[in-house]
């Protein structure tokens, strides 16, 4: 089924060039969308700006109800949503469905909690009774989102849910590889009652993305570290806030007391079955304590033999196609580099043209070291490199030996020790005895340290980033008298008294 550009944006681009979209499994052309020029982006932004005051003036509850209505429509249309995602990415049924579930979960979290998170607050006044210290949260205006292709529903929409509920209007620039999913989902938003100019799409490439950064009041970027850095520079020049969800090289530590069957399964899920390894928070480096190293490898090989790979329908297919040829080449280059430097390829690695041009069997490597690209550079494909370590301390040291710090995992039977070790990892989040669940846990902030990014999605932090705090200090004029100096004699005596009280009875919190 070929899809042409949606009416959402067809009329908004003068003299467009087009992106031609292909199904990565069949090579079939499935649609085209215009590449928005900088002028076209400005026009769309002007509409978003005009729509902002009315949208921001609605109560939080009303905006949240509209977003809830959209999520319910998305849920009702999930078969079609899954089909759209699969045809543009080549991922499995289960992988596409996961995106729908996580979005629904995120909407539930923010529709239940947003009003509370955004409520005006009373803060402690320096001079109690006389002063009232109030804090209001106000939306920025037009929020821009630039997103990648690996989760075209989840990564494009998870962050903009709180932005909309907080009262911003939104411009979305989806990846040039997966704009059709985004166009379809935005149509569902309009269909469910969210006004057209409140959420709009601009399709295109990096130039379109760069033009978007120039017209918005907040930019939320999800993508590679290299592009994120350029966006941060431009945002700094414009003095607009930004958040950057970037790449990762996530470590996975298996300690002697781990449940080996579970550890092997989680390592495979983390590295190869979840979206064929095309995940920002995929498991990319496995460190196994000496005592269980050989047994762990045996378990991994046994489980790997049960992996199903294919393009068929149904929730029993574990690994689908890669989405882009660039990633296939990157995977093969990393494996070649590792093998040339002494790594052993103990499982998989063959291309599967019988299934489609971008299918590759999952790859398990042992005897890897930190001078290999596969242990240092981001992998966006199904590779599981495993390294033997002396003990937990060596595992932590190696895990922290990376320019990235997005997510991590520790497998251990000692939960308390697992949690303690987790705090020693330089990572935005750490899982104990599981991988990946952070992105399905909307109450927990998610984001990176080091080159993995700045800012957090999800949790209260994930909505408060889309509002600017406005402080209002009210003097009730009870004891106020005109004076030519800031502190008059009465205020001074009051300040000394308050200081004495605060030092003597701090729990009063005056």
436 binds ligand NAD (CB under 6 A): no
How far is 80 from 185, CA to CA, in rounded Å?
10
Q: Which of 323, 303, 373, 368 is nearest to 342 (CA)?
A: 368
Q: Say if CB 377 and CB 398 are below 8 A apart.
A: no
The residue from 6, 89, 92, 155 that contacts ligand NAD (CB under 6 A) is: 155
For this structure, is 242 an active site residue? no
Whose Cβ is closer to ligand NAD: residue 230's or residue 352's? 230
6 binds ligand NAD (CB under 6 A): no
Of 46-54, 93-101, 140-148, 458-466: span binding ligand NAD (CB under 6 A): 140-148
414 binds ligand NAD (CB under 6 A): no
**Min separation Cβ 407 and ligand NAD, Å:** 9
| Mask for 96-135, x = binds ligand NAD (CB under 6 A) | ----------------------------------------
Whose Cβ is closer to ligand NAD: residue 149's or residue 287's? 149
150 binds ligand NAD (CB under 6 A): yes
Closest CB to ligand NAD belongs to which residue? 209
The residue from 7, 53, 195, 206 that contacts ligand NAD (CB under 6 A) is: 206
DSSP 2-27: -BPPPTTTGGG-SS-EEEEEE-TTT-
H or E element, residue 412: none
The residue from 144, 148, 162, 270 that contacts ligand NAD (CB under 6 A) is: 148
Q: Give me the torsion for CA of 182, 187, 190, 195, rounded to 10°.
A: 60
* DSSP conformational letter for 196: T
Of 4-12, 40-48, 109-117, 226-234: span binding ligand NAD (CB under 6 A): 226-234
Token pair listed for 252:
């996975």
**Min separation Cβ 115 and ligand NAD, Å:** 26
Q: What does the radius of gyration of the chain's CA atoms come to, in whole angstroms? A: 26
467 binds ligand NAD (CB under 6 A): no
Residue 366 forms beta bridges with which residues? 344
Of 68-76, 171-179, 384-392, 462-470: span binding ligand NAD (CB under 6 A): 171-179
How far is 187 from 453, CA to CA, in rounded Å?
30
* Catalytic residue, candidates 88, 245, 266, 274: 245
Token pair listed for 308:
């199903």
Number of residues that bind ligand NAD (CB under 6 A): 29
Interface of this chain with ligand NAD, residues 275 to 314, rule: CB under 6 A: 280
Q: Say if CB 89 and CB 152 are below 8 A apart.
A: yes
CA angle (109, 50, 18) in 5-degree steps: 85
The residue from 36, 97, 149, 184 that contacts ligand NAD (CB under 6 A) is: 149
User: What is the residue whose two structure tokens read 């200081």?
Assistant: 499
Q: Which of 157, 179, 44 is nearest to 99 (CA)?
A: 157
The residue from 45, 71, 146, 467 that contacts ligand NAD (CB under 6 A) is: 146
3-class state of residue 33 by DSSP: strand
For this structure, is 176 an active site residue? no
**Min separation Cβ 42 and ligand NAD, Å:** 15
Which phi and psi angles does 169 have, rounded to 5°? -90, 160
455 binds ligand NAD (CB under 6 A): no
Token pair listed for 435:
């991988």
How far is 249 from 354, CA to CA, in rounded Å?
31
35 binds ligand NAD (CB under 6 A): no
| Mask for 343-382, x = binds ligand NAD (CB under 6 A) | -----------------------------------x----
Of 76-84, 224-232, 418-426, 478-486: span binding ligand NAD (CB under 6 A): 224-232
Q: Say if CB 351 and CB 381 are below 8 A apart.
A: no
Whose Cβ is closer to ligand NAD: residue 60's or residue 430's? 430
Q: Say if CB 1 and CB 30 are below 8 A apart.
A: yes
How far is 319 from 232, CA to CA, in rounded Å?
35
Where do contacts with ligand NAD occur on this chain (CB under 6 A)? 146-150, 155, 173, 175-176, 205-206, 209-210, 213, 222-224, 227, 230-231, 245-248, 280, 378, 406, 448, 453
Q: Which positions are catalytic?
A: 245, 280
């Amino acid at each position: 089924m070929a899809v042409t550009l949606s009416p959402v944006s067809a009329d908004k681009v003068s003299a467009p060039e087009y992106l031609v979209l292909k199904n990565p499994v069949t090579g079939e052309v499935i649609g085209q969308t215009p590449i928005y020029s900088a002028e076209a982006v400005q026009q769309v932004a002007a509409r978003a700006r005009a729509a902002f005051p009315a949208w921001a003036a609605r109560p939080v509850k009303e905006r949240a109800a509209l977003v809830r209505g959209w999520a319910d429509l998305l849920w009702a249309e999930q078969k079609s949503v899954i089909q759209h995602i699969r045809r543009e990415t080549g991922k499995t049924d289960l992988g596409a469905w996961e995106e729908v579930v996580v979005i629904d979960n995120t909407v539930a979290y923010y529709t239940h909690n947003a009003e509370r998170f955004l409520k005006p607050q009373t803060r402690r006044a320096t001079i109690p009774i006389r002063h009232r210290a109030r804090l209001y949260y106000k939306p920025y205006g037009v929020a821009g989102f630039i997103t990648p292709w690996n989760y075209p529903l989840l990564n494009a929409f998870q962050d903009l849910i709180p932005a909309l509920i907080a009262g911003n209007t939104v411009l979305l620039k989806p990846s040039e590889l997966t704009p059709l999913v985004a166009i379809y989902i935005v149509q569902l938003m309009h269909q469910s009652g969210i006004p057209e100019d409140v959420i709009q799409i601009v399709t295109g490439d990096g130039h379109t993305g760069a033009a978007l950064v120039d017209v918005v009041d907040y930019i939320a970027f999800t993508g590679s570290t290299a592009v994120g850095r350029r966006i941060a520079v431009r945002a700094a020049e414009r003095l607009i806030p930004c958040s950057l969800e970037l790449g990762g090289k996530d470590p996975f530590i298996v300690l002697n007391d781990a449940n080996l069957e579970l550890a092997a399964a989680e390592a495979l899920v983390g590295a190869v079955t979840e979206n064929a390894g095309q995940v920002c928070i995929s498991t990319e480096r496995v460190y196994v304590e000496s005592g269980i190293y050989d047994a762990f490898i045996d378990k991994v090989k046994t489980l790997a033999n049960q992996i199903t790979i294919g393009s068929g329908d149904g929730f029993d297919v574990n690994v689908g196609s890669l989405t882009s040829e660039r990633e296939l080449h990157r995977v093969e280059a990393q494996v070649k580099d590792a093998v040339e430097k002494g790594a052993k390829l103990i499982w998989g690695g063959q291309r599967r043209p019988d299934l489609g041009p971008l299918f590759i069997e999952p790859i398990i490597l042992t005897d890897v070291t930190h001078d290999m690209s596969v242990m240092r550079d981001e992998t966006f494909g199904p590779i599981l490199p495993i390294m033997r370590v002396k003990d937990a301390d060596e595992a932590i040291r190696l895990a922290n030996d990376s320019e990235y710090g997005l997510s991590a995992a520790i497998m251990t039977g000692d939960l308390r020790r697992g949690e303690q070790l987790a705090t020693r990892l330089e990572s935005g989040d750490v899982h104990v005895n599981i991988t990946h669940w952070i992105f399905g846990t909307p109450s927990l902030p998610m984001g990176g340290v080091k080159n993995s990014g700045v800012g957090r999605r999800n949790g209260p932090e994930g909505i408060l980033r889309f509002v600017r705090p406005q402080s209002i200090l009210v003097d009730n004029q009870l004891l106020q008298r005109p004076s030519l100096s800031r502190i008059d004699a009465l205020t001074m005596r009051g300040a000394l008294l308050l200081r004495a009280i605060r030092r003597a009875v701090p729990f009063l919190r005056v």
